[in-house]
Each structure stands twice: as C-alpha cells, then as structure tokens.
Amino acid sequence: MRLFTTVGFANCPILLYSSHMKAVFPTLLKIILSLVLVLLILTAPSLFVNEGETRYMNLHAPIEVLEDFFTELGSEDFFIVMFGKTPRDLRSFIFEYTLVSLKHLLTGTIISLLMGISLGILIGVNKGSRSLGGLSLISAIPDFILVMLLQLISVMLFSTFGIRIGYINYSSQEGIAVLPVIIIVIISISYVIRTISLKMVTIATEDYIQYARAKGLSRRVIIFRHMLVAVLDQFRGDVIKLVSISIGSLFIVERMFNIPGLTRLLFSFGFNLQFTYSSGVSAYSVNFRIAAIAIILIACVSSLTYIVCYSIILLLKRMCAHEAIF
C-alpha cells in the first residue's frame, strides 16, 4: 500500500472497485450452496422405490442419481431427449431460453433498481408515509392477479383506443416483452422504494447529518453526497433480496405469458413430460437432468443479474461522491 501511495495509486478507482467487488463472492457462494441444496431436493423422489407390492427406501439412490448426472455430463446423449419418436438436442433451444429469461430478468430488475432508488429518495426526504402505505397495498396483491389485470387493461386499451402497450401472449417479434417486464417492475420496485426511503429517514437523524446541516451545507449536497452515499452502501446487502423477488416474479410471468424461457424448461420439460433417451435411460433420470440443467441455468442468470445490479450500486455511489470508477 505504501508503494501505491508513493506512485499515486492509493485511490486508484479500478483498485477500489475491485476491492468492493470482493463482497460479491460470499453472496455467489450462497447461491452455489442453494443450488446444491435444490439439486439434493430434486433427487428426493428416488428415495422411494416401488417394485410390485414391495415398497422401501433406498438411501443411496440420491447419491447415485447425482453421480450419474455428473458422470454422463460430457457424453453425447446427455442433451438428447425423445419428443415422441423424434430425438431432439436440448442444446438447440437451451441458449435461446436462457437468453430470453436473462433479458426479461435483467431489464425488469435494473428498471426496478433505478426507479426505486429515485422514488425512494423523494419519499424518504419528504417523509411520505402515505406513499409507503400505498406500496404495501400493491405488494400485497398476488402476482397472477396483477398479470390478469394488466392483460385485461391491455386488451381494453387496444380494443377501445387502438393503443397496444404489449402482447398478452409472448411474441418473438417483441424481443423483450413489455407486459412481463412491467409486472416484474411493479412487484420488485415496491421493495426498493420501501427500503431506500426507510434508510433515508433513519440516516437523516444521524449526528454527522445534523452536523452537516449546522455547517450550512446545501440540501442537495447533504442528500446526495452524504445521505445517499450511506444509503447505497447499506443497500448493497439488499441487492440479493431484490434479485430473489425478481426471480419469483419471472416464474409467474413466463408461465402466464407463455414465454419460452427457463421456467418452461423447468416445469414443462423437467417435471411434466416423460422423456426417454434414445439410449434407453429411464424417464426419471432424464426429468432430473432437465430440471437440474434448468436450475443451474437459473442460478447463472440470477448470479449475472446480481453482479450487474451490484455494479450499478457501486457506480451510483461513486457518482454521488463526485468520483468516477474508471
């Protein structure tokens, strides 16, 4: 560190940014551990064996299922499934499904984050408790009810005024479907607004904020350079909660808007349909593999979204402190 100070690198933005990003790794480790736990839960049905009139539990079955999964991971038949009598390679559409889910999750979460921070500042500074009450009411509405209401409003606007705000069923022409993103934003933004506004109110009572006011600093400087910097620093730990809320909303909107994403891969292909490999592997093994692949991809999409949102928080924090990251 003395060498960095000598050559003027003590406050190098890239070094500081790298040190901040080290805090991401514990959260990513939690995501990986959660992924392992979910994979173990997926193997639970293999515990129960039914052979004619004999029923018993095979405690070694989950380990064998996971062993087969990772052993055959690199085999040619790993991604080959049978649709009726036609074999199909999952790799032909897995990338497309992952990209669709990533686009909607990332777009909705980033919009929720930026709009939520902006509105949270306004409500926190003005102490708008009524607005928080309205947000609590909106967040209490179930996701699928919001989806149906938004679809109904979309149909009424189009049939009455000819205004199309989006398709009630997913169309590949949209790229990013507007209505599903709106649902993700509505559900996620309430958490961000509530958290930011409450933190703003709490930090406003801190001694150093009162001291800044006593020194005659402008309201804008106090809010952005002192209060918001502290709020964003605290909010870094809440980013994973925001991503979790968005992931839950993604499952609902992909299902109800018939979006070809990872939700379809998980629930339609992984759980409902009975596939068999051309090589004759049992249907359960294929279902487990598809579900495991879907969950691994969901974990990757969640991790990428978390890293992007975390980086945005760091960027906003540096901008508020009148410093640049790069």
Domain limits, the chain? 90-320
Q: Report the alpha-carbon distance of residue 239 to residue 316 in Å, rounded.
A: 14
Can you give the pLDDT at residue 131?
63
Can you give the pLDDT at residue 157?
87
Please compute Rg for the chain using Cα positions.
24
Q: Which helix (H) or strand (E) holds 89?
A: strand 86-89
**Could you confirm whether domain 90-320 is CATH 1.10.3720.10?**
yes
pLDDT per residue rounded down to tens, the chain (326 residues) = 334 433 444 445 444 455 566 667 787 788 888 888 888 877 777 777 766 667 777 777 778 878 887 887 777 777 877 665 677 788 888 899 999 999 999 999 999 999 999 999 888 888 766 666 666 677 777 888 888 888 888 888 888 888 877 777 777 666 678 889 999 999 999 899 999 998 988 888 888 888 888 888 888 888 888 899 999 999 998 999 999 999 999 999 998 888 889 998 888 777 754 444 444 444 344 467 788 888 889 999 999 999 999 999 999 988 887 644 33
pTM: 0.80
Q: Report the alpha-carbon distance of residue 261 to residue 26 in Å, rounded.
A: 28
Q: Report the alpha-carbon distance of residue 156 to residue 81 in Å, rounded.
A: 42
Q: Report the alpha-carbon distance of residue 102 to residue 263 in Å, rounded.
A: 12
Torsion of CA 240, 245, 251, 257, to 10 degrees: -130
Phi, psi of 81 (to 5 degrees): -130, 160
Q: Report the alpha-carbon distance of residue 122 to residue 115 in Å, rounded.
A: 11
